[in-house]
Amino acid sequence: FRFKDSLAEDLRRADLVISHAGAGSCLETLEEGKPLIVVINEKLMNNHQLELAKQLQRDGHVLCCNCSTLVETLKSMDLSTLKPFPRGQPEKFALFLDEVIGFQ
Protein backbone atom coordinates (compact mmCIF):
# COMPACT_ATOMS: atom_id res chain seq x y z
CA PHE A 1 0.00 0.00 0.00
CA ARG A 2 1.22 3.46 -0.72
CA PHE A 3 -0.93 5.09 1.98
CA LYS A 4 -3.98 4.01 3.91
CA ASP A 5 -5.58 5.61 6.96
CA SER A 6 -5.89 2.23 8.66
CA LEU A 7 -4.90 -1.35 7.97
CA ALA A 8 -7.24 -2.74 10.64
CA GLU A 9 -9.72 -4.29 8.21
CA ASP A 10 -6.93 -5.72 6.05
CA LEU A 11 -5.33 -7.26 9.13
CA ARG A 12 -8.63 -8.82 10.23
CA ARG A 13 -9.02 -10.47 6.81
CA ALA A 14 -5.38 -11.59 6.44
CA ASP A 15 -4.19 -15.17 6.83
CA LEU A 16 -0.55 -14.07 6.92
CA VAL A 17 1.11 -10.65 7.20
CA ILE A 18 4.50 -9.76 5.74
CA SER A 19 5.76 -6.47 7.11
CA HIS A 20 8.77 -4.35 7.90
CA ALA A 21 9.83 -4.39 11.54
CA GLY A 22 8.23 -1.13 12.65
CA ALA A 23 6.92 -1.39 16.20
CA GLY A 24 3.40 -0.24 15.24
CA SER A 25 3.14 -2.68 12.34
CA CYS A 26 4.42 -5.61 14.39
CA LEU A 27 2.32 -4.97 17.48
CA GLU A 28 -0.89 -4.22 15.59
CA THR A 29 -0.51 -7.46 13.63
CA LEU A 30 0.35 -9.57 16.68
CA GLU A 31 -2.48 -8.08 18.74
CA GLU A 32 -4.83 -9.11 15.93
CA GLY A 33 -3.51 -12.66 16.35
CA LYS A 34 -2.16 -12.97 12.83
CA PRO A 35 1.01 -14.84 11.87
CA LEU A 36 3.76 -12.40 10.94
CA ILE A 37 6.88 -12.55 8.83
CA VAL A 38 9.09 -9.56 9.55
CA VAL A 39 11.38 -8.46 6.72
CA ILE A 40 14.33 -6.60 8.19
CA ASN A 41 15.76 -3.60 6.34
CA GLU A 42 19.47 -4.15 6.92
CA LYS A 43 20.36 -0.76 5.42
CA LEU A 44 18.91 1.27 8.31
CA MET A 45 21.48 2.89 10.57
CA ASN A 46 21.10 2.27 14.32
CA ASN A 47 18.57 -0.37 13.39
CA HIS A 48 16.08 -0.50 16.28
CA GLN A 49 13.76 -2.47 13.98
CA LEU A 50 16.32 -5.27 13.91
CA GLU A 51 16.38 -5.39 17.72
CA LEU A 52 12.58 -5.60 17.94
CA ALA A 53 12.31 -8.23 15.21
CA LYS A 54 15.02 -10.42 16.71
CA GLN A 55 13.44 -10.25 20.18
CA LEU A 56 9.98 -11.12 18.82
CA GLN A 57 11.58 -14.02 16.96
CA ARG A 58 13.45 -15.22 20.07
CA ASP A 59 10.15 -15.12 21.96
CA GLY A 60 8.58 -17.26 19.22
CA HIS A 61 6.02 -14.69 17.99
CA VAL A 62 7.30 -13.98 14.46
CA LEU A 63 9.48 -15.31 11.69
CA CYS A 64 12.28 -12.99 10.55
CA CYS A 65 14.09 -12.72 7.27
CA ASN A 66 15.56 -10.14 4.93
CA CYS A 67 14.62 -9.40 1.33
CA SER A 68 17.03 -11.97 -0.05
CA THR A 69 15.71 -14.79 2.19
CA LEU A 70 11.96 -14.02 2.01
CA VAL A 71 11.17 -16.61 -0.67
CA GLU A 72 13.02 -19.33 1.24
CA THR A 73 11.27 -18.32 4.46
CA LEU A 74 7.88 -18.60 2.74
CA LYS A 75 8.74 -22.03 1.35
CA SER A 76 10.02 -23.44 4.65
CA MET A 77 7.80 -21.67 7.20
CA ASP A 78 5.86 -23.60 9.81
CA LEU A 79 3.34 -21.15 11.23
CA SER A 80 2.19 -23.69 13.82
CA THR A 81 5.41 -23.02 15.75
CA LEU A 82 4.48 -19.37 16.39
CA LYS A 83 3.32 -18.50 19.90
CA PRO A 84 0.39 -16.13 20.49
CA PHE A 85 1.43 -12.64 21.55
CA PRO A 86 0.24 -11.89 25.10
CA ARG A 87 -2.46 -9.26 25.48
CA GLY A 88 -1.46 -5.97 27.04
CA GLN A 89 -2.46 -5.27 30.63
CA PRO A 90 -2.60 -1.47 30.98
CA GLU A 91 -4.26 -1.77 34.39
CA LYS A 92 -1.01 -3.21 35.78
CA PHE A 93 0.90 -0.17 34.55
CA ALA A 94 -1.68 2.14 36.12
CA LEU A 95 -1.33 0.32 39.46
CA PHE A 96 2.45 0.59 39.22
CA LEU A 97 2.23 4.33 38.59
CA ASP A 98 -0.18 4.76 41.48
CA GLU A 99 2.27 2.94 43.75
CA VAL A 100 5.30 4.92 42.56
CA ILE A 101 3.53 8.29 42.86
CA GLY A 102 1.91 7.33 46.15
CA PHE A 103 -1.77 7.19 45.18
CA GLN A 104 -3.05 4.27 47.19
The residue count of the chain comes to: 104
CA angle 22, 23, 26 (to 5 degrees): 85
Distance CA 79, CA 34 (A): 10
Distance CA 64, CA 42 (A): 12
Which H or E element spans position 24?
helix 23-31
CATH number at residue 53: 3.40.50.2000
pLDDT in the model for residue 61: 97
Residue 102 placed within a domain: no
36-71 pLDDT tens trace = 999 998 776 667 788 899 999 999 999 999 999 999
pLDDT in the model for residue 97: 83
| Over residues 81-90, mean pLDDT | 88
Residue 22 placed within a domain: yes
Residue 72 placed within a domain: yes
Look up the domain containing 27 and give its range: 7-97
Give the confidence band of 104 by pLDDT, cuts at 50, 70, 90. Answer: low
Residue 63: Cβ-neighbour burial (10 angstroms; 0-12, 13-18, 19+): buried
6-36 pLDDT tens trace = 889 999 999 999 999 889 999 999 999 999 9
Domain count, the chain: 1
